Amino acid sequence: MISVQNLGMQLRAGSHLVTILDGITFEVPEKQVVAIVGPSGSGKSTLLGLMAGLDKPTAGTIQLNGFDITALTETQLAHFRREYIGYIFQSFHLIPTLTALENVALPLDLSGEPSAANRAEELLAAVGLQDRQHHYPVQLSGGEQQRVAVARAFACRPRILLADEPTGNLDSGTGQIVIDLLLKLNQDHGSTLVLVTHDSNLAERAGRMITMRDGRLVSDGEIPR
């Protein structure tokens, strides 16, 4: 499902090249739940963004569902993300001028889903926000906004779900609700789920943990139950 091979990322800072990722290699089978952990600055979010096709690596390849996304054009990547990938941002990234329902329905509308509003209503009910669907983001709490973001990420039934610190801006109680929700939706939809997190509770509930440090993969193993 996911194959990352010898991935590297360098950025130029003045006359110097700064290495963000160095020789990252791993594979994730279909439907697995993987937590990527490590200290701040270890390259976790950069790696996740590359896996979503939000940026291009300077070395290596990423294959998702058999497609080498590092070889796709921007237009092809946009179509691929719409078809296969759901992405949850730490800072929600909801559109402030759209209601919760409209935020969730947007990717469905863009995909030409004829019953976009009905599907959005079902997803908001699944995340416990059926009574808040006509509220705008500013009228929602942080936890409610993140639940809308989770519903939106699942809207197009993605084969792969990528989540960047999905509990990072939430208190522990609300974070636990979002963790439960992500894992339940993952089970219900059968998506492959890759999470970047500092949240030990979330990481320990994954089936596998990848640890990064200084742009390198330092450990990779299944979590014993």
Tell me: the pLDDT tens digits for 59-82? 999 999 889 999 999 899 988 988
Q: pTM (2 decimals)?
A: 0.90
Name 98's Cβ contacts closer than 8 Å, sequence gap at least 6. Answer: 106, 136
Mean pLDDT (whole number) for 153-171: 87
Mean pLDDT (whole number) for 31-54: 93
Q: Considering just the CA atoms, what is the radius of gyration of the chain in Å?
A: 17
Mean pLDDT (whole number) for 159-170: 87
Cα gap 52→167, rounded to integer Å: 19
Query: What pLDDT is attached to residue 188?
Result: 83
- Phi, then psi, of 193 in degrees rounded to 5: -120, 120
Of 174 and 65, which is predicted with more confidence?
65
Query: 35, 44 in Cβ contact below 8 A?
Result: no
Domains and CATH numbers, the chain: 2-93+159-222 (3.40.50.300)
Name the band, by pLDDT with cuts 50, 70 and 90, for residue 205. Answer: confident
Cα gap 128→25, rounded to integer Å: 38
Rounded to the nearest integer, the mean pLDDT of the chain is: 90
Query: What pLDDT is attached to residue 181?
Result: 81
How would you class 70 by CB atoms within 10 Å of its CB: exposed for 0-12, middle for 13-18, buried for 19 or more?
middle
225, pLDDT greater than 70: no
184-204 burial, b if ≥16 CB within 10 A, otherwise e? Answer: ebbeeeebbbbbbbebeebbe
Query: What pLDDT is attached to residue 89?
Result: 86
pLDDT in tens, 181-192: 888 878 888 889
| 221, two tokens | 């193993």
Query: What pLDDT is attached to residue 133?
Result: 94
Mean pLDDT (whole number) for 117-143: 92
Name 1's Cβ contacts closer than 8 Å, sequence gap at least 6. Answer: 28, 29, 30, 31, 32, 64, 65, 159, 160, 192
Query: What pLDDT is attached to residue 193?
Result: 92
Helix ranges (H only) for the chain are: 44-51, 74-84, 100-110, 116-126, 142-154, 172-189, 200-204
